[in-house]
Amino acid sequence: MQHFQNTIRPLLTGHYNLSQEAFDWWRKLQSGYPDLNFFRNTAQKIFEIIPVLPPVVEPSPHRCRTCAVVGNSGNLRRSHYGKLIDQCDSVFRINRGQTKGFEEDVGSRTTHRVMYPESASHLDNSTHMVLFPFKGRDLEWLVNTFRTSSNAPGKHKPIANKNMVMVVHPAFMQYVHKSWLQSKGKYPSTGFMSVILALHLCDEVHVFGFGADRDGNWTHYWTKLYKIWRTGPHPGSAEYEMIEELARKGKIVLYKGF
């Protein structure tokens, strides 16, 4: 509970509030982005396209919202977790995590696809897009991709159902970095932020596909290991240690794979 802030808004809404302090932290992740007013104008354009309130299932004493957060670790190979993953109400997959050909280990259902423009892929009409805006241009990309797409013949098809788009709040990204990781690394990974997002949106969180495989290799489950994988600007060790701590405390269920 020293890390978890129940009052934080994880997703942008049409009634959002972004402080100058949170904006300044977010702006440091990029270069050359204009001021807070430019952000507000871009956000206004976003909510002319997507719902003012994000499409989330609200808490209720009559249901338990179960969520699977599926990372891309090679430890999912030969894990046989597919059925466990698909049994959860919501299944969050990270960036380009694949299912075709890997169903036995990773399942086949995807209800939420976490992405940013460089990792984007077209989604079916029933999958939520969960956009992590690491850059101001990511928000502009969201506006442009829907404004220039259409279901009309000869046009670019929309990347997702605009009524199922969720945009992570920049202040939430700062909160994960400062409160959960003590500002280690430049910024958190999409995978780790997805775990913390699930803690805020779900009642029961199951985490798959994080960490190295049993031989200590860091790789994706759909690729061969050619070289050692680096965590880049993300504090990979600190993130995984926190995930393990959450599991020890019984706040999540962690499946370590094969």
Residue 154 scores a pLDDT above 70 = no
* Residue 4 within any structural domain of the chain: no
The mean per-residue pLDDT over the stretch 150-179 comes to 90
pLDDT digits (tens, 9 = 90+) for 20-74: 999 999 999 887 788 899 999 999 999 999 999 999 999 999 999 999 999 999 9
The CATH number given to whatever domain includes residue 176 is 3.90.1480.20
* C-alpha to C-alpha distances, 191 to 60, 87, 113, nearest whole angstrom: 27, 21, 11
Q: Comparing C-alpha atoms, which of 28, 34, 56 is closest to residue 233?
A: 28
Model pLDDT, residue 223: 86
What token pair was written down for 149? 């797409």
pTM, 2 dp: 0.93
Residue 15 lies in a domain: no
Structure tokens, 218: 């860091």
User: Tokens for 254?
Assistant: 């962690």
Q: pLDDT tier at 237 (50, 70, 90 boundaries)?
A: confident
Q: Considering the domain boundaries, does residue 11 fall inside one? A: no
Does residue 59 lie within any of the structural domains? no
According to DSSP H, which parts of the chain are helical?
20-27, 36-46, 82-86, 103-106, 136-147, 170-175, 190-201, 236-248
How many whole angstroms separate alpha carbon 243 and alpha carbon 258? 17
Is there a domain that residue 237 lies in?
yes
Does any domain span residue 142?
Answer: yes
Tens digits of residue pLDDT in 78-128? 999 999 999 999 999 999 999 999 999 999 999 999 999 999 999 999 999
Burial of 61 (0-12, 13-18, 19+ CB in 10 A): exposed
What's the gap between Cα 137 and its chain centre? 18
How many folded domains does the chain comprise? 1
Q: Which of 10-24, 135-149, 218-232 has the lowest mean pLDDT?
A: 218-232
Confidence band (pLDDT; 50, 70, 90) for 1?
Answer: confident
In this model, does residue 156 exceed pLDDT 80? no
pLDDT band at 232 (very low <50, low <70, confident <90, very high): low
Tell me what percent of the residues of the chain surpass a pLDDT of 70.
95
Q: What is the pLDDT of residue 32?
A: 75
Is 101 inside a domain boundary?
Answer: yes
Average pLDDT over every residue of 157-167: 94
Output the six-digit token pair for 164: 């199922």
Positions annotated as catalytic residues are 187, 234
Q: What pLDDT is stored for residue 225 in this prediction? A: 61
Task: Confirm whether 14 is domain-assigned.
Answer: no
- pLDDT tens string 182-196: 999 999 999 999 999
Q: How many CB atoms lie within 10 A of CB 122?
A: 13
What is the pLDDT at residue 231?
Answer: 54
Mean of all residue pLDDT scores within the chain: 92
Distance CA 224, CA 217 (A): 11
- Provide the pLDDT for residue 16: 86
Rounded distance between C-alpha atoms, residue 162 and residue 148, angstroms: 13
Please give the residue range of the domain that contains residue 123: 20-53+66-255
For 214, which DSSP code?
A: T
